[in-house]
């Protein structure tokens, strides 16, 4: 497969730096109405299945993938990701294995990969060491929902230092003042949560969402990603023109549970409006 980086500009590997997440997403967005980001829990049901699922995702047109390093106390996650995280940890998934696996995926596939995890995993690894490792293996961004800007001075400094984009979250309960703060601190894109609650429950994509996303737009110039509850092509279509990235979380995990890794490709094509 021809590497986009090579076509479009330098992927500077000598200094351990590569195209920043935001730039990469913007280039992809140039010829697409909306980007598709997917997610999986590392080591669930096992790394071999992860490999297969990622191949299905990339080959069918996914623009970016979140790799979730499982944590035993995933407070922001609903039942599907919670169960997947637990099972992964129970059968012995280690952070070091997640990192090796991510390295392998980055080398193999030409899309930006992000780590999603919780702060304790980063904290125990060591903030500085973690971001250095991300840079070394080519991870471009991180989503860590429990390290708000005011608690994470060193976290955000180390991320910046190593050119890793920390993606922050807008919530419907966020005030304008709050969005200014999180918007400034975020890199790559802003993850807009369309409703209250945890991952994996259906969201309503109506007028309220349109207004909310318009408000999000006012507070950041970064691309807007919308996650939490996107399950069908109609949901993705509802976001076109209002957001830049549709993020699919627990839906694909459920799909793999029920129908196996091979069912992911057709589902991705459905989301992209292809037959």
Give me the residues that bind other proteins (CB under 8 A), please: 71-76, 78-79, 82-83, 86, 89, 94-95, 118-121, 123-125, 145-148, 150-151, 168-175, 178, 182, 193, 196-198
Which residue of the set 63, 77, 127, 244 is catalytic? 77
Cα(204)–Cα(148) distance, integer angstroms = 26
CB of 270 to other proteins, least distance (A): 29
Cα(39)–Cα(74) distance, integer angstroms = 15
Closer residue to other proteins (CB): 86 or 210? 86
Helices (H) and strands (E) in the chain, counts: 13, 9
Closer residue to other proteins (CB): 71 or 205? 71
Angle at Cα 250 formed by Cα 61 and Cα 178, nearest 5°? 95
Kindly provide the b/e burial profile for residues 195-229, where b requires at least 16 CB atoms within 10 angstroms of the residue's own CB: beebbbeebebeeebeebbeebbebbebbbbbbbb
H or E, element range at 7: helix 4-8
CB of 257 to other proteins, least distance (A): 16
CB of 216 to other proteins, least distance (A): 12
CB of 119 to other proteins, least distance (A): 5
In the residue annotation, 48 being an active-site residue is answered as no
Tokens 């955000």 found at: 156
Tokens 């990469």 found at: 24
Phi, psi of 163 (to 5 degrees): 70, 25
Q: How many CA atoms does the CB half-sphere of 254 hold within 13 Å?
A: 14
Which residue of the set 23, 30, 46, 66 is catalytic? 66
Closer residue to other proteins (CB): 112 or 145? 145
CB of 164 to other proteins, least distance (A): 19
In the residue annotation, 176 being an active-site residue is answered as no
Q: How many CA atoms does the CB half-sphere of 67 hold within 13 Å?
A: 29
Closer residue to other proteins (CB): 24 or 199? 199
Return the DSSP state at 263: G
Active site residues: 66, 77
């Amino acid at each position: 497969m021809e590497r986009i980086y090579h076509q479009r500009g330098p992927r500077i590997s000598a200094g351990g730096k590569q195209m920043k997440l935001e730039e990469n997403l913007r280039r992809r967005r140039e010829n697409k109405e909306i980007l598709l980001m997917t997610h999986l829990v590392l080591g669930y049901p096992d790394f071999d299945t992860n490999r297969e699922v990622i191949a299905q995702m990339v080959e069918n047109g996914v623009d970016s993938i979140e790799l979730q390093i499982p944590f035993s106390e995933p407070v922001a996650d609903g039942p599907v990701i919670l169960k997947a995280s637990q099972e992964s940890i129970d059968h012995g998934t280690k952070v070091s294995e997640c990192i090796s696996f991510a390295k392998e995926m980055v080398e193999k596939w030409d899309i930006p990969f992000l780590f999603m995890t919780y702060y304790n995993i980063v904290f125990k690894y060591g903030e500085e060491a973690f971001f250095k490792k991300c840079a070394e293996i080519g991870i471009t961004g991180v989503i860590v929902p429990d390290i708000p800007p005011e608690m994470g001075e060193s976290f955000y400094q180390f991320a910046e230092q190593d050119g890793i984009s920390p993606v922050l979250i807008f919530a419907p309960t966020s005030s304008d003042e709050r969005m200014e703060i999180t918007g400034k601190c975020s890199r790559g894109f802003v993850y807009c949560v369309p409703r209250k609650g945890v991952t994996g429950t259906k969201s309503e994509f109506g007028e309220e969402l349109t207004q909310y996303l318009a408000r999000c737009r006012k507070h950041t110039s970064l691309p807007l990603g919308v996650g939490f509850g996107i399950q069908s092509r109609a949901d993705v279509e509802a976001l076109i023109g209002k957001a830049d990235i549709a993020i699919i979380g627990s839906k694909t995990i459920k799909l793999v549970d029920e129908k196996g890794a091979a069912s992911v490709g057709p589902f991705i094509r459905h989301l992209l409006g292809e037959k």
